Structure 1
Amino acid sequence: MQVHSYLFFEGRCEEAIAFYEKVLGAKRGMLMRYGESPEPCPEGMLPPGSEDKIMHGEFTLGESMVMASDGRVSGKPKFDGFSLSVDFTEVAAAEKAFHGLADGGEVNMPLGETFYAKTFGMVKDRFGMNWMVIVPKEMPGD
């Protein structure tokens, strides 16, 4: 069994994927727009003019695939209750990613050393997505 994250950006999916390509080095995969669907969406599901919005998309971060969509295009994404955690091996790379994610977003916990990490911080990006950025320390017994 595998579990994948599926993020709904409520009309900003393509912008979000481009942002993650720039900031995190994400690799864009398959994209299907609502107008390309072999079956039409149920009546009233999407606002008029949503044909070019993303029905389903995929991108990879390192070895992890993330799926994404514009969803119902309400314009109000809400990513409460979870975060995506991104592990780095170098502090400089973690700092670059963290500051990139924080651009236009909100720092919830500044990057800093902890008992379990060379550096760790939490940030909500400009799309409302919560991220944890970490360079773990080797712990006794590892």
Structure 2
Amino acid sequence: MAKLYPYIYSDDAKYQAEFYAKALDGEIIMLKTFAELPQQNAKMELIKDKVMHLRLKVAGQIFFMSDSVNEPVRRGNGLDLTLEFEREEEARKAFEGLADGGTVLMPFAKQFWGSMSGMVVDPFGIRWQIATEL
């Protein structure tokens, strides 16, 4: 059995992870910078304070994050991160937290298939769908 972990590359992974921890009532459980790598060179000195790997636990899920150091971050519309909650209150709180400073694509509301659902692009350009179980 495998586990699937979203891996989010960021211009500022620590700041973005702190936003998610607040918005989704979670915590950063591990953070490693490039300065912690055993092998160092001149390039490493330039990126020593950047996040090499971060583990974030939110909504009972683990997300990996890292600063993008080799190329600029480009977001697209080919993938949404979806969180499904048991209770409407949890889902609404997560939706509102992610929408703070972001853009609501579809308001959080009762859908014809029976669940509450909404879509939002957070302030970092990540598209989320927040829903309740049927």
> Per the shorter chain, which TM-score range?
0.7 to 0.9
Deviations 1:68-119 (A, max 9, x none): 0012175644253111111112222211211111111111111111133431
Q: Indicate how the Cα distance of structure 1 residues 124 and 105 shifts in structure 2: closer, same or farther if over 3 A, else same.
A: same
Which stretches in structure 1 are left out of the alignment for 5+ residues?
138-142
Q: Take 1:41 and 1:104, find their aligned partners in 2: how far apart are those partners? A: 38
User: In proportion to residue count, which structure has more helix?
Assistant: 2
Task: Using structure 2 for the length normalisation, give the TM-score.
Answer: 0.86
The match for 1:3 is 4
Task: Using structure 1 for the length normalisation, give the TM-score.
Answer: 0.82
1:94 is aligned to 2:91: yes
Q: Take 2:75 and 2:19, find their aligned partners in 1: how far apart are those partners? A: 18
Q: Take 1:35 and 1:131, find their aligned partners in 2: how far apart are those partners? A: 32
The percent of aligned pairs where both chains have the same amino acid is 29
Contact 1:91 1:118 in 2 (8 A): no
1:58 is aligned to 2:55: yes
Contact 1:117 1:134 in 2 (8 A): no
Contact 1:9 1:77 in 2 (8 A): no
User: Match of 1:6, as an amino acid?
Assistant: Y
Which stretches in structure 2 are left out of the alignment for 5+ residues?
none
Q: Indicate how the Cα distance of structure 1 residues 38 and 79 shifts in structure 2: closer, same or farther if over 3 A, else same.
A: farther
SS of corresponding position for 1:80:
coil
Contact 1:106 1:124 in 2 (8 A): yes
Q: Take 1:22 and 1:73, find their aligned partners in 2: how far apart are those partners? A: 28
